[in-house]
Amino acid sequence: MAEDKGGGGFGWFLLGGVLGLIAGAYIASGPGRGQVDNLRSKTIELSTSEPVQKAKEAAQRARTIMSDPDHPVGKAIQDGVAAAKRRREELESAARTKIQQATNGGADKE
């Protein structure tokens, strides 16, 4: 009588998957659930704290300064964006010229 060794490994794999699913469901509904709720309440508590509010106000001031064209920082940002656009146009123009030269050069050789 020959032994069938082909399907045994798959059975153990399925059994391991089922046991993992059961263990995960237990942990998610058991002690892990309390930790998640605790973390959620701490996050809400910290998001309304004074240091967080000060940071939000500072971020808003920074956004205002960056978008103000009369402020030196806002002007520098606008100048940088304009310079980047000019440089991009120069590089794209140079690339088009190179491509045209390559296609025209290849057509002359035929």
Decide if 61 is inside a domain. Answer: yes
For residues 54 and 5, the model is more confident at: 54
Decide if 55 is inside a domain. Answer: yes
For residues 19 and 96, the model is more confident at: 96
Decide if 17 is inside a domain. Answer: no
Question: Mean pLDDT over residues 60-64, rounded?
Answer: 90
Residues 73-87 pLDDT 10s: 889 999 999 999 999
Decide if 90 is inside a domain. Answer: yes
Residues 12-33 pLDDT 10s: 888 888 888 888 877 776 666 6
pLDDT band at 110 (very low <50, low <70, confident <90, very high): very low
- Does 62 score more than 70 pLDDT? yes
Paired tokens of 96: 């088009």
For residues 1 and 75, the model is more confident at: 75
pLDDT of residue 4: 54
Decide if 26 is inside a domain. Answer: no
pLDDT band at 7 (very low <50, low <70, confident <90, very high): low
Decide if 83 is inside a domain. Answer: yes
DSSP the chain: -----SSHHHHHHHHHHHHHHHHHHHHHHTHHHHHHHHHHHHHHHHHTSHHHHHHHHHHHHHHHHHH-TTSHHHHHHHHHHHHHHHHHHHHHHHHHHHHHHHHHHHHHH-
Q: Which residues contact 68 (CB under 8 A, 6 or more apart)?
A: 74
pTM of this structure:
0.43
Structural domains in the chain (count): 1
Which domain covers residue 48, as residue numbers?
A: 44-110
Amino acid (1-letter code) at residue 20: G
Q: Which long-range contacts (CB under 8 A, 24 or more apart) does 39-48 make?
A: none
Decide if 105 is inside a domain. Answer: yes
Decide if 23 is inside a domain. Answer: no
